[in-house]
Structure 1
């Protein structure tokens, strides 16, 4: 190695084998190391920690067998690609604190990593968190300035189930791919804080628990793959409400239950996104959900109290209206009832108030007197 003068070492897509030499000098100025798609074996050299300016490490698609490189926590990593090797063990370290704040691409797919997903690693990825100054950032690329000459980094990653070669790595592009490993346990809530993520792939592991509601905060996410795990519970409606730019979704082959929130972007996906969950129901699946009435919570004291008062008033008013209509209605529209009513009501009144008798006799005689006057 040539010390501080060597900034880029790209030997990708060759047939190089054996081990990577453990010969990085103390004054290493390397910023890009790309050894992708070769046949390197053995472990990752520990002297690589001397390269404190290292921004891009791409050693994917080799036969490297080692544990996670915690010793690189003093570097300036932006891109870490370990895909398709033989890395193993957990990604956790009790003394590891905020290792790579500028890390924007992490590709650990197709290895043998075990244990829980690294909460500390997610919390330290400040470049993936939407901060106030992010809105003012301009569109730029990761590039190396070597004495006035610029080198453009290029990496191969898998996005939306397709392998892409990023000829220019945008600084705004954020990607997490932990697929095809042996991670277990729950999905950390902390992933929901990485609000600048574009793609998230945790498929083909043995993750358990429910899908965190916090994933609904990943408003920039375009691809989400949680398939082939052991996730349970309902699909949070917050995902359907929050992931408004989602174009690829795969939740298949888990243990999810309940109705699919078939709204917004979720309404654009086929049944392939949800198949393999025997207790999921609703569109776009053929299995329809049972239409059971939801159980409403019991009313509060104030609601029940006012309900009793209102019904007392309503029942009195209804009784008055019904009684009034029962008596007055026939009097207005039925002549026989009107004649019968007036006759019997008068008789009852005369019995109760005898003084009214004179008035009755007076009314009876009046026609005869009038008849006599006509003669």
Structure 2
């Protein structure tokens, strides 16, 4: 019995010891802690907005400070003070450059440059750096040539500043991309968005491909690059996974060799002046997750047959000259969450297979030449935006079980030839914010809406249809309405203008060209609670006296009281 008791006492003492004895952390090297404290003291920032620097004080070991990463022996390896609202305080004399073991430095999303400061050339002393991020810092001027001394860099991000390329110390050659990257042979990711490179394809493609054989991420948006694409870029077909070259003046066709980039996950060539026919094989790359070719109006192309279990999540082709039908195999892309193909020249019917895209959130196919009926999009339960404006669609919309689309916030079917009744379930959707059915052939009465969830609707555009009967008084339950268009229908009965004071947010009201009898109390001069209109269209409303609430309108831009 005593032996058993001794055993339990031993266990209790052992547990208490484990709880009491603190875990031993790496202890910061004193001179490095002092360097950080001097570094902080020289920074210009607002402590009220700080979540990292505020924790830096001499009473705590610097390895426990937020944003500081240490090695086991106490050497500082990483420094992340991004998003700290720092507006200055780093120059060549900064004690930051005494941290000789630093491997990762993230200063992104501050205001270190203030629009006129240069990057300190002393940054070239941090030769152990593997990761350097100075993006979104309002820096200007040229990138110091000393950056090329950081030969171990794997990630370099200088994007979204106002940089120029470095110049040769001897001034014997003009600034160029090759000078910056020729020694950075370990780079895996390069972000130079908005750096003014100003080079043709034969120069920037060869500069990248000749020095950066391990590059996986290339982001050079809005860099004043031109084309055409040089074949040397094909050397990176087994490494590059992300290529973003938006807002450059490539002004050339897309080279077929991009279809050989076997690891490509993201290709973005938005607004690059592309022309010719886009190689459809690129769409079939098994690794491709995102493609953006938008705002290239001279770029022709069509969609291929898609393989089963494709990885594509984002298909963005808006404002291009893509044409032809959507293949039924688009339903194979089970990961698709966004389709933006509006203002193209697609034709044919909308494939029923698209209703199986359960991950779909955004579907915008406005401004094409789609025909036939709208498939029932009730199964993509995550659908938030559905846009099919300005096509040639026919039939009714009662086939869709609208009640299932509980996340739908925007539905736009304007400018088609749709008919039938407007389903009550559509107007009762809990998240609906924007509903545009203008310019169709819907008929029947505007249904009474008792579901208070319709209160979220801000934009309700039903003009230029064949709706009839009275306007239901439940319209005044849409308390967030800012735009209501019921014009050019066959609505009849009386409509009390005085009740508009319930819709305090309404700025655009269009009731013209119906058979309505617009009423108001001519003796009521209490109009201070009426909404402030910008557009008020009350033509052909059988008005007999001037509405008093108009005397208190200070934002009115257009008023139509004609034919009254």
Distance 1:32 1:249, change over 3 A: same
Out of 234, 251, 270, the position equivalent to 1:12 is: 270
Out of 379, 389, 398, the position equivalent to 1:124 is: 379
Deviation track 1:113-151 (CA, whole Å, cap 9, x = no partner) reads: 0111112xx0331323xxxxxxxxxxxxxxxxxxxxxxx
Q: 1:279 matched to which residue of 2? A: 491
Distance 1:116 1:277, change over 3 A: same
> How does the TM-score come out when normalised to structure 2?
0.40
Distance in 2 of aligned mates of 1:46 and 1:61: 19
Deviation track 1:288-325 (CA, whole Å, cap 9, x = no partner) reads: 289xxxxxxxxxxxxxxxxxxxxxxxxxxxxxxxxxxx
Q: 1:224 matched to which residue of 2? A: 435
Distance in 1 of aligned mates of 2:432 and 2:283: 40
Distance 1:97 1:115, change over 3 A: closer
Q: Looking at secondary structure, tell me which structure has more helix per residue.
A: 1
> How does the TM-score come out when normalised to structure 1?
0.58
Q: Does 1:187 align with 2:386?
A: no
Alignment coverage as a number of residue pairs? 241
Out of 294, 298, 311, the position equivalent to 1:36 is: 294
Distance 1:270 1:252, change over 3 A: farther
Q: Does 1:254 align with 2:465?
A: yes
Which stretch shifts more, 266-275 or 81-90? 266-275
Deviation track 1:3-58 (CA, whole Å, cap 9, x = no partner) reads: 44211100011210111102238652111100010035544241654781110000
Asked if the contact 1:192–1:216 (Cα under 8 Å) also holds between the matched residues in 2, the reply is: no
Per the TM alignment, residue 211 of structure 1 is displaced from its structure 2 partner at its CA by 0.4
Gap runs ≥5 in structure 1: 129-173, 291-375
Higher Cα Rg, which structure: 1
Distance in 1 of aligned mates of 2:261 and 2:427: 46
Asked if the contact 1:28–1:50 (Cα under 8 Å) also holds between the matched residues in 2, the reply is: no
Distance in 2 of aligned mates of 1:276 and 1:240: 27
Distance 1:50 1:184, change over 3 A: same
Q: 1:324 matched to which residue of 2? A: none
Q: Does 1:64 align with 2:274?
A: no
Q: Does 1:205 align with 2:464?
A: no
Distance in 2 of aligned mates of 1:99 and 1:242: 27
Distance 1:230 1:195, change over 3 A: same
Out of 81, 84, 90, the position equivalent to 2:340 is: 81
Per the TM alignment, residue 197 of structure 1 is displaced from its structure 2 partner at its CA by 0.5
Distance in 2 of aligned mates of 1:25 and 1:109: 22
Gap runs ≥5 in structure 2: 1-258, 498-510, 520-564
Asked if the contact 1:27–1:51 (Cα under 8 Å) also holds between the matched residues in 2, the reply is: no
Distance 1:61 1:179, change over 3 A: same
Q: 2:372 matched to which residue of 1? A: 115
